[in-house]
Structure 1
Amino acid sequence: MNRILATAVVILSSAVVLVLEVAVVRLAAPYAGDTLETYTAAIGVALGAIALGAKYGGDAADRRPPLKLLGPLLVFGGGLTMLARPIVLGLGPSLTGAGPITALLLVASSIALPVALLSAVTPVVVKTQLADLDRTGSIVGRFSAWGTVGALAGTFLTGYVLIAAFPVSVVLLATGGGLIAFGGFLLLRHGLPGDRRQGPAMLAVALLGAGLLVGVRSPCDAETAYYCARVESDPDRPSGRVLVLDDLRHGYVDLDDPGHLEFGYTQWFGAAIETLAPEGGLSALHVGGGAYTLPRWLAETRPGSDSEVFEVDPAVTEMARTELGLRTGPELSVRHGDARIAITGSGTGAYDVVVGDAFGGLSVPWHLTTREFATEIHRVLRPGGVYVANIIDRGPRDFLAAEVATLATVFDHVRVIGHRDGFGSPAGGNHVIVAADDPIETGALERAVADAEEPGRLVEAGLLRHWIRDGMVLTDDHAPVDQLLTPYLT
């Protein structure tokens, strides 16, 4: 094999390994969440499979003609690459709810084998180039470098371009198909290994991978750069629509009644704003768009209000426009991008209300939970302004306590709204934190929340003081949000 072809094989196989490592996070997120554990599982499984593939690929190259191994490795690797998505879609529903184990099982079952096969390619290629033992070091180093180049190309191309531009199914179909085509070329050029049964097996894996990849229906209406997104109708309310992102119901809108708030936490948002915010039209900042429920509610219930929304995913906004009746204009503007960056462009004292409702899976993105971000929220609020934030937590409420303690370092007054059945329920759920510099009218807020369609209540003063005193203050240097939510290591 000439050097150019050998280099191309190494670059391609290494690139696809990283395509799989990045794409599997997107595949697993609807069932395991878009969490640190999911990313850790993808990295850890890929590294383990790379190590095994390199070891056994080198062993195989010493036992068999290496040129005859490359075609089968690429063809089998391509077929199994295309099978990654059907495997996750098939196993995901039954594994949902197992915490970090869900991510580990889904990642391992879907990408471990193709990554191992593709990682075996580099040592096999190196074996074909070792004609001169005096140049062993330079040959091994050169192909190791080219493999890294391929891995970098796969990483940046997938994360920056492919996932944003195409559904994951298309990305895997193209990469798997490319591997099969390249492998077929090498088979024609160098022939099969001694075992003739590999021919039908390769054909079967390639056809099965392509067929299932195309044939298995995705649960998503749209696969965005960040979410598996879909819109569901409410059987109990003909004009009601639910936006589902990954494994979480993120928003609800009534197409005929923008003043309707379906979810309990949005009703508590409304109660807090009605009770504590200044009278008349409000200027509001919404961190997270989703279904754009609160901006539309505010326009309906507080005429003259204007809202600016930070939404990280343009595809979610487009879905809200096409399926949820969103109309933007002077009274409702959208800025696409990460809220942590976008807020630096907002003026000091620009808003009466800031609403925090941004999620990746069940967790608020960690960099939107820290004291530094809270300081930015405080900066953009006018005197008398109010910050309300949605927090999902369960069990001991370690994350909720940490966020309360964090906001208490920035705001003079903090209160927490939760379900009427109390803050000790292991099941947990949504909580709304209210933060302000002006004293919070606790009695009025308690009555407003209790009168909501889904009644809530304020946390007891003693428990609130405990959270403020003992909760972890989250900072940009240390904000282990996912671990606080799933304290399985303690």
Structure 2
Amino acid sequence: MTRPPSSPPAQDTPRAPGLGPRTAAALVFGSSAAVLVIEIAALRLLAPYLGLTLETSTMVIGIALTAIALGSWLGGLIADRVEPRLLIAPALGVSGAVVALTPAGLRASAEWVPVLLFLVAALTILVPGALLAAVTPLVTKLRLTSLAETGTVVGRLSGVGTAGSIVGTVLTGFVFVSRWPVSGILIGLGTLLLVGSALIGWRTRGWTGTPALALVTVAGGLATTVAPGACDTETRYHCVRVVADPDRDGGRTLVLDGVRHSYVDLADPTHLEFTYVRAIASAVDAFFPEREPLVAHHLGGGGLTLPRYLAATRPGTRNVVSEIDGGVVAVDRTRFGRPDPRTEVRVEDGRLGLRRLDPGSRDLVVGDAFGGVSVPWHLTTAEAMADVRRVLSTNGLYVANLIDHGDLAFARAEVATLRATFRHVSLIGKPADIGTGPSGTRVGGNFVVLASHSDRPLALRATQEALDARRTGWSIATGARLTSWIGDAQPLTDDFAPVDQLLQPSPRRTR
């Protein structure tokens, strides 16, 4: 009986020269981290044009995940057909060039050809994201030397890639954005990717194609310096600019993410430029006795226009401001001057700031954290309004700025929420928008809502007289008229607050 010839022993595939385990881990770690840096930076670049909304975040995350899935699939497919050593360096180099050009490309398209913004945004995330995601299967293919260690190699590199994604996310959110402009982060990342491309190309096959891509990086840096949409300061939350008023020597406008947010007259804090601010001041002045000092809490700081106004018109007023963006607070101090000594600005989330206040400790709460393209939804719910009601004194007043357009679904839902919480609620706005003027001319924009739970009325007649004296052209809706305006809108709660879907931003994007 003859024995069948034994199979030859399995032979390991020779390791790629210059791609040891540490180099492989570094490539997978770095490329995975870079994808998340690109995703977060792209979200911040798009915020001034699309708003920092749930839809914008969903779009960017979706494109990034698509890029990772596409790159992983194609990278693995190509790695079985083409020598991976030939592809890693070009993948890093091309992605680096695209990343370096991203700030200029996005800002230029947003300002000059807005219709292309979504396409450019998709490409600037999809192309480098897919190329960088392809690095992991390419490196895995090179590191697989025996079937016996497949699980170990694949598992190790998968874990390294996940760790890279975590580190890229944490460093970008907590370190990079707070220290460097977003354009600088992306140009720096593009440069690092090109350097990595050159090193890998040289070590694996003596590749010398990087200099041409390096020129693209330099071009990206130069283009960014002249691209539109530049910021005076990039904070953790906003692209900030301060614009001087050519018609008023002391006038300064604080612009956040392309939206006119606050106006401050350095020489005259009683000058109120924006109509909605004049409406808030009218309501406060009508509700409280003239020059009576108040204890006020402000949800949102901006340029501190109202705290400055209250300090000037009601000496002795104590203002406490919850402003989440420390960068905006720094701009206030350097460009607008320090406010009254009795004004305290706390860098904190507004909802958390409310929880720290004692019950009945505030005469006035002002809500002005709503922007023209995004809204902090957790400040709109019944639970948040219950906190506002808790901190107000017996005869306290809550006054808030709302912004909405279109069918005003968000504004109506927010007023319905206030009505479910407070005894007295009234709405101030343009007559056509609040149902007190001719129908068919509604355009939306700013609204001011008043709420109180005391036995004290809202002084609507005095408020209307103050609105007229300040030439706002606005009127007040209350009672049955306000009920009709709210319609079937449902109150917002922490469990259900689809604010981003309800809000309709203005095409002009101004306050």
* TM-score, with length taken from structure 1: 0.93
CA positional deviation for 1:127 = 0.8
Higher mean displacement: 295-304 or 456-465:
456-465
CA positional deviation for 1:407 = 0.9
**AA in 2 matched with 1:474:** L
Which residue does the alignment assign to 1:366? 377
Deviation by residue 1:169-197 (Cα, 9 ceiling, x = unmatched) = 2222322222111211111101267xx8x
Which residue does the alignment assign to 1:282? 294
**AA in 2 matched with 1:55:** W
Which residue does the alignment assign to 1:173? 187
Which residue does the alignment assign to 1:266? 277
1:157 to 155, 171, 174: 171
Q: Give distance in 2, aligned partners of 1:467 and 1:52.
A: 48
**AA in 1 matched with 2:24:** A
Consecutive unaligned residues of structure 2, counting only runs of 5 or more, are 1-18, 506-511
**AA in 2 matched with 1:90:** A
**AA in 1 matched with 2:202:** L
3-state SS, counterpart of residue 374 of structure 1: helix
* TM-score, with length taken from structure 2: 0.89
3-state SS, counterpart of residue 331 of structure 2: helix
CA positional deviation for 1:429 = 0.5
Q: Is the 8 A contact 2:375 2:500 kept in 1?
A: no
Which residue does the alignment assign to 2:508? none
Q: Give distance in 1, aligned partners of 2:500 and 2:471.
A: 31
Residue 394 (structure 2) pairs with residue 378 (structure 1): no
1:324 to 301, 320, 336: 336
Residue 318 (structure 2) pairs with residue 303 (structure 1): no
CA positional deviation for 1:297 = 0.4
Q: Is the 8 A contact 1:79 1:208 kept in 2?
A: no
**AA in 2 matched with 1:67:** R
Q: Is the 8 A contact 1:76 1:206 kept in 2?
A: no
Aligned length: 479
Which residue does the alignment assign to 1:38? 56
**AA in 1 matched with 2:391:** V
- Cα pair distance change 1:43/1:145, threshold 3 Å: same
Q: Give distance in 2, aligned partners of 1:84 and 1:393.
A: 31
Residue 15 (structure 2) pairs with residue 3 (structure 1): no
**AA in 2 matched with 1:170:** G
CA positional deviation for 1:41 = 1.2
3-state SS, counterpart of residue 250 of structure 2: strand
2:410 to 390, 396, 399: 399
Higher mean displacement: 459-468 or 153-162:
459-468
Q: Give distance in 2, aligned partners of 1:333 and 1:393.
A: 30
Deviation by residue 1:168-226 (Cα, 9 ceiling, x = unmatched) = 12222322222111211111101267xx8x55653443333343345546521101110
2:426 to 412, 415, 428: 415
Q: Give distance in 2, aligned partners of 1:148 and 1:19.
A: 13
Residue 477 (structure 2) pairs with residue 459 (structure 1): yes
**AA in 1 matched with 2:252:** R
CA positional deviation for 1:250 = 0.5
Higher mean displacement: 256-265 or 63-72:
63-72
RMSD: 2.1
Q: Give distance in 1, aligned partners of 2:339 and 2:458.
A: 33
- Cα pair distance change 1:328/1:442, threshold 3 Å: closer
Residue 128 (structure 2) pairs with residue 122 (structure 1): no
CA positional deviation for 1:460 = 5.9
Structure 1 segments (4+ residues) deviating >6 Å? none
Q: Is the 8 A contact 1:267 1:453 kept in 2?
A: no
CA positional deviation for 1:362 = 2.6
Higher mean displacement: 420-429 or 2-11:
420-429
Identity among equivalent positions (%) equals: 44
3-state SS, counterpart of residue 197 of structure 2: helix
**AA in 1 matched with 2:186:** L
3-state SS, counterpart of residue 383 of structure 1: strand
Q: Give distance in 2, aligned partners of 1:342 and 1:76.
A: 46
Which residue does the alignment assign to 1:293? 305
**AA in 2 matched with 1:124:** L
**AA in 2 matched with 1:114:** P
- Cα pair distance change 1:368/1:375, threshold 3 Å: same
Q: Is the 8 A contact 1:412 1:436 kept in 2?
A: yes
Q: Give distance in 1, aligned partners of 2:164 and 2:253.
A: 41
Bigger radius of gyration: 2
2:75 to 57, 70, 75: 57
Higher mean displacement: 405-414 or 212-221:
212-221
Higher mean displacement: 17-26 or 440-449:
440-449
Q: Give distance in 1, aligned partners of 2:102 and 2:204.
A: 28
Q: Give distance in 2, aligned partners of 1:116 and 1:175.
A: 16
- Cα pair distance change 1:481/1:284, threshold 3 Å: same
**AA in 1 matched with 2:35:** V
Q: Is the 8 A contact 1:277 1:352 kept in 2?
A: no
Q: Give distance in 2, aligned partners of 1:173 and 1:67.
A: 26
CA positional deviation for 1:308 = 0.6
Which residue does the alignment assign to 1:333? 344
Q: How does 1:448-487 map onto structure 2 within 5 Å? A: 448-459=466-477, 461-468=479-486, 470-486=488-504
Q: Is the 8 A contact 1:232 1:241 kept in 2?
A: yes
3-state SS, counterpart of residue 345 of structure 2: strand
